[in-house]
Homo-oligomer: A and B are copies of this chain.
Amino acid sequence: MSNAPAPAPTSRREQILKEAARLFAERGFHGVGVDEIGAAVGISGPGLYRHFAGKDAMLAELLVGISERLLDGGRMRIAEGGESPGAVLDALIDGHIDFALDDRPLITVHDRELDRLREADRKRVRRLQREYVELWVTVVREVHPEPSEAEARAAVHAVFGLLNSTPHLGRPGALPGRTDMAHLLRRLALGAFGAMADGAEEAGGAGGAAPASGA
């Protein structure tokens, strides 16, 4: 309950959340004042309190929202099931890349401001994150059974770091465009997972276990 008020497609709430995400990403939760957030959507200061209980509530809704969307997306892709575990992993990677490229500010805020939440919300977000990670770990281990679970989990975290690196990129166009970037990130991620396996089996079977599928 309590949800589904938003009748309109892009309600005021969503507009506020979007701007808040951008500002939080740029200057940090504590670095942004409510007046700024208000100004960003054309209203000023305390007007925000008609839409949110407080500044904390905005952050909470942002973080929970991201985590849920990531997890739901992951579950969906797994449920759809590809032709092989490798295809599912590809789908997970592509999904995460879309997210990282399209919602940079959210990604930034996501792993930066978690501790500013109230205990309850923080636990909820952590739970969602953990489930998302475990989703990946499961799939990764189907594709690459050799490494230990601890290794696989660490590798998943590392690949998240890799995929989430886009926000750190400098403004200038000294970088590939969106499409090229997506392809590059996908390759890098697959390469990393492949190397995780290669090292673990030590067999020297460079074959890479035919990790990918697509294209």
Contacts and interface: CB of A to CB of B under 8 A. Distances in A.
Interface of A: 26-31, 111-113, 115-116, 130, 148, 150-151, 153-155, 157-165, 168-170, 174-176, 180-181, 183-185, 187-196, 198-199, 206-211
Contact of A194 (B130, B154, B168, B195): B195
Copies held by the complex: 2
Given A155-B184, A161-B168, A187-B199, 11 more contacts: A27-B115, A28-B30, A150-B175, A153-B175, A154-B176, A155-B188, A160-B165, A190-B195, A191-B195, A194-B195, A207-B207
Question: SS class of chain A's interface: helix, strand, loop or mixed?
Answer: helix
A195 B183 CA distance: 11
Between A116, A154, A158, the greatest number of chain B beta carbons within 10 A of the residue's beta carbon is seen for A158
A195 B93 CA distance: 15
Nearest to A116: B31
A209 B168 CA distance: 29
Nearest to A156: B165
A156 to B, nearest CB: 9
A174 B150 contact: yes
Contacts of A181: 154
10 contacts: A28-B28, A28-B116, A130-B170, A150-B175, A160-B165, A161-B162, A184-B199, A187-B196, A188-B192, A192-B192
